[in-house]
């Protein structure tokens, strides 16, 4: 998606450890007009997939996921990372490792919000090593629901998350796919 690639080139910063910082439009300050365009593109790409709900992990996946859900006309559910007084019983849970936070999180979704006839679309901000997506796939398996596909705003194709989704046999839509970081610049994949 050209508008997203341009925004990454304009505002993104490459940090040590192959981390792309895009906190001025995606995962700290959010550009709502851009999120709307991203959500519309996800909806266009998955419009015939029979999606009943959009699933993500808090917190950076929420903005693109809610916009995708809005354009698809379905609810959005986010897996919570933190314990809550209101989220204690009857949960689907999975363990997820965060590379940027260097630690494990238990993610949870209330069982009331997933049913056997659901066909979910997983949306996240980044796909790098695939840990968040794997956690949501584990929850989907526990809930015995179908997964229509995975949509990510930015994927780092050179890390293992892309292959993890492909090996699961799921459609993958990455709105910006990064082939490599080299000499402080971003090179996008061409396919």
DSSP 55-112: EEETTTTHHHHHHHHHHHTS-EEEEB-S-BTTB-SSEEEEEEEETTTTEEEEEEEEGG
The reply to whether 189 sits in an annotated binding site is no
The reply to whether 105 sits in an annotated binding site is no
The reply to whether 179 sits in an annotated binding site is no
**What backbone torsions phi and psi does residue 143 show, to the nearest 5 degrees?**
-80, -5
Cβ contact 155:166 at 8 Å: no
The reply to whether 29 sits in an annotated binding site is no
For 52, the enclosing helix (H) or strand (E) is none
The reply to whether 151 sits in an annotated binding site is no
The reply to whether 130 sits in an annotated binding site is yes
CA torsion, ordered 121, 125, 128, 133, to nearest 10 deg: -30
The reply to whether 156 sits in an annotated binding site is yes
In sequence order, the 6+-apart residues with CB closer than 8 A to the CB of 130 are 159, 160, 161, 162, 164, 165
Reading the block at residue 92, the tokens are 């689907």
The reply to whether 128 sits in an annotated binding site is yes
Reading the block at residue 5, the tokens are 């690639």
User: Which residues are annotated binding-site positions?
Assistant: 20, 27, 128-132, 156
User: Which residues are annotated binding-site positions for 5-phospho-alpha-D-ribose 1-diphosphate?
Assistant: 128-132
User: Which residues are annotated binding-site positions for xanthine?
Assistant: 20, 27, 156
């Amino acid at each position: 998606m050209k508008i997203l690639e341009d925004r990454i080139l304009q505002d993104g910063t490459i940090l040590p450890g192959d981390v792309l910082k895009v906190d001025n439009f995606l995962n700290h300050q959010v550009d709502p007009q851009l999120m709307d365009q991203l959500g519309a593109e996800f909806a266009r790409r998955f419009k015939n997939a029979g999606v009943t709900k959009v699933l993500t992990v808090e917190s950076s996946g929420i903005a693109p996921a809610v916009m995708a859900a809005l354009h698809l006309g379905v609810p959005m559910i986010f897996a919570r990372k933190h314990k809550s007084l209101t989220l204690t019983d009857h949960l689907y849970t999975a363990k997820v490792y965060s590379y940027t936070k260097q630690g494990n999180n238990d993610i949870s979704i209330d069982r009331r919000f997933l049913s056997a006839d659901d066909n979910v679309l997983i949306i996240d901000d980044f796909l790098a090593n695939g840990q968040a997506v794997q956690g949501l796939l584990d929850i989907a398996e526990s809930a015995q629901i179908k997964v229509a596909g995975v949509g990510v705003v930015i994927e780092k194709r050179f890390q293992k998350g892309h292959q993890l989704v492909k090996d699961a046999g799921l459609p993958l839509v990455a709105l910006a796919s990064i082939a490599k970081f080299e000499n402080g610049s971003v090179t996008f994949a061409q396919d």
